[in-house]
Each structure stands twice: as structure tokens, then as C-alpha cells.
Structure 1
Amino acid sequence: MCGLSDATGIRGNRTDPVARFHPGNGAPRERINGLGNTIIRGIGESFGITIDYLYDNDGIEADHEVVARGGTIARSPEVDALLQTHRALARPHSGP
């Protein structure tokens, strides 16, 4: 799931060409598709998960500038909610 939030590799570079291309153009991550790519290669590369990007003329230039300066890639509120849920479930729990 961390790849959905930043898609970065060891050196901080985005590892997936699509994860570089669309956000680099200023397109925010709009929706996560759990079974968007069910061919064998898609399952092997991303467990079948795909991401839809939204090109919004009103905000695309500002989003591009943020990404170009090394900032956060824009995400829809739905994607943010999914990531928050994942992070909450991934926290280590103490006690029984």
C-alpha cells in the first residue's frame, strides 16, 4: 500500500513509469481499483491493483509544480481515506 502513497524506490525515485508520468504531469491519484489488472503480469507487478488519475485543468499546473519541487503527489479524498485506514490497521497493537 505504501506504493500507492508515494511509489518511491530505495533512492527516492518513483519506480513505476506510470507512477512517475501522471503525477509528474500534475494529475492526482483519483481512485484505487483492486482488480484493475488481472492478467498474470498485472498480478505479479501490482497484485492486480491499478490507479486512476484525474486531469483537472483548474489545478493541474499547481499540482505539477508541487511534484516538480519534490512535494507530495495530490490524491483524492477517497484515496487519502483508504491510505489512512491502511495505516491505522498496519500499526502494531500492544496487549492481548
Structure 2
Amino acid sequence: MTTPLRPTLHNLPATLVLEGAISIELQEGIPIFRASSIIQNRIAALLAKQQISLLNSQEEKELDGYEEIDDYLSFFNRVARNLVQNTDNQTV
């Protein structure tokens, strides 16, 4: 089984707050995309609940959606870092 070059988002979780869902910070001049603290807290709550009991189907779907978004953000961050590194290597 091969890993796709980029993750695919099929939909956004219905519970995802669209405004303020993503935070952007600079690391060495590169914008890094992360889930906001609100979303991180929700993920932590779902994971904590999952440790003590089963999630209902809606919660499982929500957590899966957050995982897809995390994969996509990680992809963007890797692409941004690689672009900067390639540009830096070409100018040296």
C-alpha cells in the first residue's frame, strides 16, 4: 500500500469552529499552521474520554475529522519547510 503524496480532506467536522480553528506562528521565518488551542482542547477532551469509555459514533467521526485536518496541516508545514530549505540551498 502506498501513501498518497498529499492527504485528502473529505469534509470538515460539523463541530469545527471555522473562525479561530487554525493558528499560524512563525518558526525561523516559516509560517507553521496548527490547530488552535480551542480545537486542541476539544481533541484532548475526546482523547481523555476515549481512555475511560467508548466514544459515540458522532464523537468518533469528529475525532477522525480532526485527525484528517492534522494530517493536512502537517503536509502544509512540510511543504513550506521544504520550499524554504530548497530556496536556501539554491542561494548558497
TM bucket by the smaller chain?
under 0.3
Q: Which has the higher helix share?
A: 2
Point out which structure has higher relative CO (alpha carbons under 8 A, 6+ apart). 2
TM-score of the superposed pair, with normalisation by structure 1: 0.27
Which is greater in Rg? 2
